[in-house]
Structure 1
Amino acid sequence: MTPSLTRRRLFLTGGALLGAGIAAPGLLTACSRTETGSGTPADDADLLAKLREQGHVRIGFAGEAPYGFQDGGELAGQAPTLHREIFTALGIAELQPTLTEFGALIPGLLAGRFDVVSAGMAITPERCAKVIFSEPEFVSPTALMVPKGNPKRLTDLRSCAAKGATVGVLTAAVETSYAKAAGVPASSVKALAKQQDGLDALLAGRIDTFALTGISLRWLARTNEGAAVEVLEPFVPVIDGVEQHSPGGAVFRPGATGLRDAFNQELRKITADPARYVRLIGKYGFTEREVPPRTLRTADLCTA
């Protein structure tokens, strides 16, 4: 059963450590909810060598498609697929996954429950104050979902403003501010609770378009195969002259710089080869448009 999409780009806080270990055939030999391992900050300087010696890396994920989820008992999604490729190149053959609430991923990482967060987590200054991120694994250009045939001939949020289109957005999500910056009147922006509500409202004619990341909209269309909708070409919104790329990456404990740096070296090989990038994670809705620009650096995102 395909997991439902969640509002991953909102700022989620709090949350107890409610995660539970899962068994994924071919990926997991042993994983316990109470396992803490020896992933303390004191060990992080030699973490890469330790992981190579033991032959596995413990990852935390949040069960959110298409970023990291279970599919028929197997660990799937953008982040685990990229990370499997990278850790294999680093001499670490096995991923041992722990399913955790999204808000508990960083606390679980810092507590040593796993070594890496594999969840397509957005890189923000608030999170950078607690953990360290890889370089961006993807960017999340915004897109519009429209009725089949695109009757209003929309292209981006500015065209929505020009043509008086009613725009659906997720409650409290960043697309609300993107629409405002593009000139869409507040009265033409309709808040929706979840992604499926956006598609349903579009089909019912209550909105003219649904704005979200292209990644999420393509996945939504895929999980509603046959629905009379289409996803338009993504675009990068601009607020006060700043492009809004919404990048995400892998997450490490602050002391694990050696592991993070080695990870980045292998990640660059993938992002420098768009064909390989799409070959690896294209089935999850990622295209060449999601390949992060070489000029987009985590150090800059952490201080933005």
Structure 2
Amino acid sequence: MADFPHLSRRGFLNRSAAVGGLLVVPGLLTACSKTDAGAATGAGALDKLREQGFVRVAYANEAPYGYMEGKELKGEAPTLHREIFKALGVDELKPTLSEWDGLIPGLQAGKYDVVSAGMAITPERCGNAIFSEPEFISPTALMVRKGNPKNITDLASAKEAGITVGVMSGAVEGGYAKGAGIPEGKIKTLQKPQDGADAVKGGRVDAFLLTGISLRWLAKTNPDTEVTEPFVPQIDGKAQFSPGGAVFRKGNEDLRDSFNRELKKIVSDSSRYVQLLEPYGFGKSEIPPEDLKTADLCKG
């Protein structure tokens, strides 16, 4: 199973892109122009996948989004995508491990058909690939000591209580904390999620700020902690949903549209959504709002 430092990398490359822009290595996302001859492309892509009986998906080995446990591909994205492709008549996900930076270039090169990694939908990425509608949003939460002795529920209550809040280095939560009026002297920067959990347990911080998804996963191995109900922070009055979705190669709009039709059935059924994804820390608070659309997210 993937370890927690991977979440640190996701936090910087994924969630920071939602508010601060995506770091791109020059040429990285556009270098791959040739498409593998075996790739499912164009209007007949879904028919080809049905005929071969499998869809090639890429994952980055990042729990709880997409990771390999033994010989089984698990996580939010593979679980959801397996359900959707079965409904479309494609019974098997054939996984390919990729470094995070190589996911979109590999997709462009035809090494796989779909990125199943919980990738954030950003304008920069929309320029190089096409996204499904949002599969989830990433509300923020706080990890506190068991029993929540300071009775913290959100950033406003953290500010009022005058507590020290831990945030990840390079992630967006530091900006959330500052935007909520928490003094810089009360914000402690940590390097990875487990450092945040250790700081909470050791009393070095009163709360650790991260996505509810990541914190609930982290809490599984840190039983002396608990996680508050998630909330959606705002920057300059704009809600920070940090939505993620499946990623397809440009030219495969028909395949993406078929995927979206099945995705909508699941997202519209909260009980089914939670039943599928609760093992990975996703609940009703992660269901995307009906009016949150990829077309708008791609505009920025």
Structure 1 length-normalised TM: 0.89
SS in 1 for 2:11: coil
Correspondent of 1:193 among 173, 179, 191: 191
Correspondent of 2:48 among 43, 47, 50: 50
Match of 1:235 in 2: 231
Match of 2:17 in 1: none
Match of 2:3 in 1: 3
Instruction: Please give the alpha-carbon distance, in whole angstroms, between the structure 1 residues aligned to 2:237 and 2:290.
Output: 20
Correspondent of 2:125 among 124, 127, 138: 127
Instruction: Please give the alpha-carbon distance, in whole angstroms, between the structure 2 residues aligned to 1:127 and 1:201.
Output: 34
SS in 1 for 2:200: helix
Match of 1:139 in 2: 137
Q: Is the 8 A contact 1:15 1:104 kept in 2?
A: no
Match of 1:66 in 2: 64
Q: Any gaps of 5 or more consecutive residues in structure 1?
A: 18-34
Is 154-163 or 76-85 further displaced after alignment? 154-163
1:271 and 2:267 equivalent? yes
Q: Any gaps of 5 or more consecutive residues in structure 2?
A: 14-22, 29-34
After TM superposition, list the pairs within 5 Å mapping 1:71-220 onto structure 2.
71-220=69-218
For these two proteins, the number of residue pairs brought into alignment is 283
Instruction: Please give the alpha-carbon distance, in whole angstroms, between the structure 2 residues aligned to 1:16 and 1:96.
Output: 28
Instruction: Please give the alpha-carbon distance, in whole angstroms, between the structure 2 residues aligned to 1:230 and 1:167.
Output: 15
Instruction: Please give the alpha-carbon distance, in whole angstroms, between the structure 2 residues aligned to 1:15 and 1:196.
Output: 32
CA RMSD of aligned residues (A): 1.8
Structure 2 length-normalised TM: 0.90
Match of 1:32 in 2: none
Instruction: Please give the alpha-carbon distance, in whole angstroms, between the structure 1 residues aligned to 2:177 and 2:122.
Output: 21
Q: Is the 8 A contact 1:121 1:248 kept in 2?
A: yes
**1:37 to partner: Cα distance:** 4.9
Is 43-52 or 66-75 further displaced after alignment? 43-52
Instruction: Please give the alpha-carbon distance, in whole angstroms, between the structure 2 residues aligned to 1:36 and 1:97.
Output: 16
| Amino acid in the other structure paired with 1:94 | E
Instruction: Please give the alpha-carbon distance, in whole angstroms, between the structure 2 residues aligned to 1:16 and 1:285.
Output: 35
Q: Is the 8 A contact 1:16 1:104 kept in 2?
A: no
1:302 and 2:298 equivalent? yes
Correspondent of 1:221 among 219, 222, 230: 219
Aligned-pair identity in percent equals 60
Match of 1:287 in 2: 283
**1:14 to partner: Cα distance:** 4.1
Instruction: Please give the alpha-carbon distance, in whole angstroms, between the structure 1 residues aligned to 2:55 and 2:298.
Output: 26
SS in 1 for 2:7: coil
| Amino acid in the other structure paired with 1:116 | V
Instruction: Please give the alpha-carbon distance, in whole angstroms, between the structure 2 residues aligned to 1:58 and 1:13.
Output: 25
1:244 and 2:240 equivalent? yes
SS in 2 for 1:58: strand
| Amino acid in the other structure paired with 1:238 | Q
Is 60-69 or 46-55 further displaced after alignment? 46-55
